[in-house]
């Protein structure tokens, strides 16, 4: 970080998506010109089009674009930027990049390269923190690990965000998990160093936000609880961390400040701890802005990005930070299916609208295509209220009322999580989703889905009547019974056949005689009355995709099926199809056509949205076809392999003796 006052006038954000837009928003408020960089898939992304200037990074993969320090520096020079903000992820914690920025005469909006280097390797950071008196978990050498060391957590030394991280409960799995962790770390961070540490099944992930200036002032801006995680990636965060004894909270504050002073830290950073009962263990220090920083901003009433820029310009911080007020909760909205092993989902995002009472930090807008190259995060939604109970309630209700038409997301899981008694009580640990996922992803009310399908049928029947010049109410002189078939696309795929008649009084459901369809008030809105309760449905149609929303927050995604569907193409028996789009990063060792595979054996790994996903054999048999190889990109449904039953061994006969004759009749 450059010492002394140096006003920032034109700032390049070396990142994309939600965090790029977040930094740009503050720059606009401060009167700073913004420069975006973008890969080819991001040519029309919001962060690109909203910036004052934009520079193309040719290519699509992060390794060819956002991880290319040389291209980023060229973009800064070309655009006339005098400062660089790295956001989070990508090169935000790369000391060499930070040093290159400062060597180029630019202002680095982050800590000094030396502090980044000291904390960039989590193994070296632990040694440094031990010398500073910060409590931590002892590392375990994977080469010397024994059964008594289990479970172990493998972590990328240079990483974060769950990349390059694997949980090992069986010692026999350690070599394969090490290989996977190293490959993922190398792809995400350009560094395949991995270390191991004991894993506490019921620990809480608690972190402390710090901010330090060039004049020796270190702010401690309270705690955040980030224990609700999937695949070691945070899903819901809140500030302050609930149910922490005052003595423990104070010890966390002291340890975080000690960590900052141990490396002469400046700028914004986060010190992360694993809390086990009343003990805290240092995990790592993130030398950047965290994804979950908005909850701290809400509680303390600050703009951390503005403060980062002020510190980089040499401005001193006041002696103490603003006092906290109230409680804030953040939920990360991902394009993924929690019920299908958290697999990411791609496709067009037709519409996304969150209620105004929520802070919404998003990297997407209506019409964007969610692809495979980057993290599946769509948005962060934040509620701030006087109490924790009120904040949880506001966020759950706001998420439920969010209009979301597009790929499958984790929205329903988030709502159920925020309303779960264990979460409401406070103190849920990192094993929450391991223990509760089945219940949190159970299918919804079948009756509610049937009524949603009926509403969709009614709305589309009315649309057809208008387009063909029929009466607004859909009445015909002769009664008719057209059918619309629809099924819930995710997760269950249940087919609902809806039959109705058009009469002089409007549309009458054939199979739901107790349901009354009220007259149309506006296109796309359907009112159904059942058992004395009137429900309003808003129906949106995009081709064959149908979305039905209710004011109470229930949302249903349907697919309209043709009345007489064409015969579907079927895959050959034993075919293994790609469950998600991505790139084949590697095949299992020795995998080739003709080899026998066991059920559940790993066959290959797909990389999608910066994570690796293992594809296993669905059955035992002989691999008769393997039409893919490492480096190939595949779409959902692409044939990956064919596994057929092994042929039985031929019968053998003893040729030394003639076969025994059957007895005479």
242-291 per-position pLDDT tens digit = 999 999 999 999 999 999 999 999 999 999 999 987 889 898 899 999 99
Are 207 and 271 within 8 A, CB to CB?
Answer: yes
**pLDDT at site 160:** 60
Helix/strand/coil for 88: coil
637 and 508 in a common domain: no
Residues 263 and 396 in one domain: yes
The total domain count for the chain is 4
Phi-psi region of 86 (alpha: psi -120 to 50; beta: other; left: phi over 0): alpha
Asked if 110 and 287 count as a contact pair (C-beta separation under 8 A), the reply is yes
| pLDDT of res. 571 | 61
Same domain, 104 and 225: no
pLDDT digits (tens, 9 = 90+) for 277-323: 788 989 889 999 999 999 999 999 999 999 999 999 999 999 999 99
pLDDT in tens, 558-610: 888 765 555 444 566 778 888 877 889 899 988 999 999 999 899 998 887 66
Contact between residue 454 and residue 498 where contact means Cβ atoms under 8 Å apart = yes
- Tell me: the pLDDT tens digits for 7-46? 999 999 999 999 999 999 999 999 999 999 999 999 999 9
- Whole-number average pLDDT of the chain: 88
Q: Is the pLDDT of residue 657 over 70?
A: no
Preceding amide of 151 cis, omega within 30 = yes
Residues 254, 381: one domain? Answer: yes
- pLDDT tens string 421-470: 999 999 899 999 999 999 999 988 888 888 999 999 999 889 888 887 76
Q: How many CB atoms lie within 10 A of CB 10?
A: 17
- The reply to whether 434 and 450 lie within a common domain is no
Please check whether residue 169 lies inside any domain of the structure: no
Residues 468 and 453 in one domain: yes
pLDDT tens digit string along 95-122? 999 999 999 999 999 999 999 999 877 7
For residue 55, the enclosing domain spans 10-109
* Residue 484, domain member (yes or no): yes
Residue 587 lies in a domain: yes
The 3-class SS string of 179-248 reads HHHHHHHHHHHCCCCEEEEECCCCCEEEEEEEEECCCCCEEEEEEEEEEEEECCEEEEEEECCCCCCHHH
Q: Is residue 637 domain-resident?
A: yes
Residue 23: which of 5, 40, 35 has the closest Cα? 35
Q: Is there a single domain that holds both residue 502 and residue 548?
A: yes
pLDDT at 664 over 70: no
C-alpha atoms less than 13 angstroms from C-alpha of 147 in its C-beta half-sphere:
0
- The pLDDT-based confidence of 162 (bands split at 50, 70, 90) is low
The CATH number covering residue 274 comes to 3.30.470.20
Q: How would you list the strands of the sheet with 279-286, edge to edge?
A: 279-286, 267-276, 204-212, 218-230, 233-239, 327-334, 377-385, 359-362
Read off the pLDDT of residues 626-644 as tens digits, 9 standing for 90 and up. 999 988 888 878 899 999 9
Co-location of 414 and 460 in the same domain: no
Q: What is the CATH number of the domain that holds 513?
A: 3.30.700
- 386 lies in the same domain as 451: no
Pick from 440, 462, 477: which residue ends a domain? 440
Nearest CA to 101 out of 109, 275, 389 is that of 109
What pLDDT does 155 receive? 79
User: Of 417, 440, 463, at which residue does a domain stop?
Assistant: 440
CA 511 to chain centre: 40
How many degrees, rounded to 5, is the angle at CA 322 between CA 316 and CA 325?
Answer: 160
- Based on the domain organization, do 249 and 343 belong to the same domain? yes
- Domain membership flag for residue 373: yes
Is 655 part of any domain?
A: no
Give the Cα separation of 536 and 529 in Å (integer).
9
Whether residues 410 and 463 fall in one domain: no
Q: What is the distance between the alpha carbons of residues 126 and 284, in angstroms, rounded to a whole number? A: 7
Answer whether residue 475 shows pLDDT above 50. Answer: no
In this prediction, residue 38 carries a pLDDT of 98
**In this structure, is residue 181 part of a structural domain?**
no
Instruction: State the DSSP code for 134.
Output: -
Instruction: Give dist(CA 66, CA 184) in Å, integer.
Output: 17
**DSSP for 448-479, written as a single string:** HHHHHHHHHHHHHHHHHHHHTT--TT---SS-
Place of tokens 């070691």: 232
Q: For residue 15, give the nearest of 39, 41, 44, 50 by alpha carbon.
A: 39
Structural domain contains residue 150: no
pLDDT digits (tens, 9 = 90+) for 347-385: 999 999 999 999 999 999 999 999 888 989 999 999 999
Higher-confidence residue of 157 and 411: namely: 411
The strand order across the sheet containing 611-616 reads 611-616, 602-608, 582-587, 633-634
The pLDDT assigned to 438 comes to 95
Q: Which residue has the higher pLDDT, 554 or 474?
A: 554
Taking CB atoms within 8 Å and a gap of at least 24, the contacts of 415-420 are 415/553, 416/440, 417/228, 417/235, 417/236, 418/236, 418/329, 418/331, 418/392, 419/392
Q: Do 406 and 530 share a structural domain? A: no
Share above pLDDT 70 across residues of the chain, in percent, rounded to a whole number: 89
pLDDT at 175: 86
State the Cα–Cα distance between residues 82 and 99, nearest whole angstrom. 15
- 164/177 Cα distance (integer angstroms): 10
Task: Tell me what pLDDT residue 180 has.
Answer: 83
* End position of a domain, from candidates 423, 440, 457: 440
Is the model's pLDDT at 179 over the cut of 60? yes
Q: What is the pTM of this model?
A: 0.82
Q: Measured between alpha carbons, how far is residue 556 from residues 326, 364, 510, 536, 549 in Å? A: 34, 21, 22, 13, 7
Q: Tell me, what CATH number does 48's domain have?
A: 3.40.50.20
Look-up of token digits 């998990």: 177
> Are the C-beta atoms of 484 and 457 separated by less than 8 Å?
yes
């Amino acid at each position: 970080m450059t010492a002394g006052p140096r006003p920032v006038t034109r700032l390049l954000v070396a990142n994309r998506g939600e965090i790029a837009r977040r930094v740009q928003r503050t720059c606009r408020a401060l009167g700073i010109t913004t420069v975006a960089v973008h890969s080819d898939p991001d040519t029309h992304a919001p962060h690109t089009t909203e910036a004052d200037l934009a520079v193309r990074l040719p290519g699509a993969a992060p390794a060819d674009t956002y991880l290319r320090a040389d291209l980023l520096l060229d973009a800064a020079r070309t655009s006339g930027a005098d400062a660089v903000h790295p956001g989070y992820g990508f090169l935000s914690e790369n000391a060499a990049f930070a040093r290159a920025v400062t060597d180029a005469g630019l202002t680095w909006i982050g800590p000094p390269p030396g502090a980044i280097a000291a904390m960039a390797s989590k193994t070296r950071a632990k040694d440094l923190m031990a010398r500073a008196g910060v409590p931590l978990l002892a590392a375990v050498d994977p080469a010397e690990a024994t059964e008594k060391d289990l479970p172990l957590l493998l972590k990328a030394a240079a990483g974060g965000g769950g990349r390059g991280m694997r949980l090992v409960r069986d010692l026999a799995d350690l070599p394969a998990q090490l290989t996977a962790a190293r490959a993922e770390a190398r792809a995400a961070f350009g560094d395949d160093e991995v270390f191991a540490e004991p894993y506490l099944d019921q620990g809480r992930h608690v972190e402390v936000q710090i901010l330090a200036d060039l004049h020796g002032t270190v702010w401690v801006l309270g705690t955040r609880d980030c224990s609700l995680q999937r695949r070691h990636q945070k899903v819901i965060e809140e500030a302050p961390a609930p149910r922490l004894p005052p003595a423990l909270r104070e010890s966390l504050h002291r340890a975080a400040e000690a960590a900052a002073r141990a490396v002469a830290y400046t700028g914004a950073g986060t010190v992360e701890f694993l809390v086990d009962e009343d003990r805290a263990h240092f995990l790592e220090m993130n030398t950047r802005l965290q994804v979950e920083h908005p909850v701290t901003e809400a509680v303390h009433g600050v703009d951390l990005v503005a403060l980062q820029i002020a510190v980089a310009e040499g401005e001193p911080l006041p002696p103490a930070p603003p006092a906290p007020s109230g409680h804030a909760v953040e939920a990360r909205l991902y394009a993924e299916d929690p019920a299908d092993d958290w697999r990411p989902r791609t496709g067009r995002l037709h519409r996304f609208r969150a209620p105004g009472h929520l802070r919404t930090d998003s990297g997407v807008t209506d019409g964007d295509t969610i692809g495979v190259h980057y993290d599946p995060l769509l948005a962060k939604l934040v509620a701030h209220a006087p109490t924790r109970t009120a904040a949880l309630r506001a966020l759950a209700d706001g998420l439920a009322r969010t209009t979301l038409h597009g790929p499958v997301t984790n929205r329903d899981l988030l709502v159920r999580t925020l309303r779960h008694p264990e979460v409401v009580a406070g103190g849920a640990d990192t094993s929450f989703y391991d223990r509760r996922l089945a219940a949190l992803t159970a299918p919804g009310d079948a009756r509610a889905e049937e009524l949603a399908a009926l509403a969709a049928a009614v709305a589309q029947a009315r649309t057809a009547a208008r387009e063909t010049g029929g009466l607004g109410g859909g009445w015909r002189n002769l009664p008719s019974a057209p059918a619309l078939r629809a099924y819930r696309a995710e997760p269950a795929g249940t087919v609902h056949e809806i039959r109705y008649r058009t009469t002089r009084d409007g549309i009458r459901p054939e199979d739901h005689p107790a349901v009354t369809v009220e007259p149309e008030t506006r296109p796309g809105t359907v009112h159904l009355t059942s058992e004395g309760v009137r429900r309003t449905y808003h129906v949106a149609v995009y081709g064959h995709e149908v979305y039905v929303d209710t004011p109470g927050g229930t949302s249903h995604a349907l697919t309209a099926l043709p009345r007489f569907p064409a015969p579907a193409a079927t895959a050959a028996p034993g075919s293994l199809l790609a469950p998600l789009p991505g790139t084949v990063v590697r095949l299992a060792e020795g995998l080739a056509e003709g080899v026998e595979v066991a059920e559940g054996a790993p066959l290959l790994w797909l990389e999608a949205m910066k994570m690796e996903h293992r594809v296993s054999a669905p059955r035992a048999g002989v691999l008769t076809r393997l039409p893919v190889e490492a480096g190939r990109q595949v779409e959902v449904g692409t044939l990956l392999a064919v596994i057929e039953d092994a042929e039985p061994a031929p019968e053998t006969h003893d040729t030394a003796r003639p076969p025994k004759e059957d007895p005479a009749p």
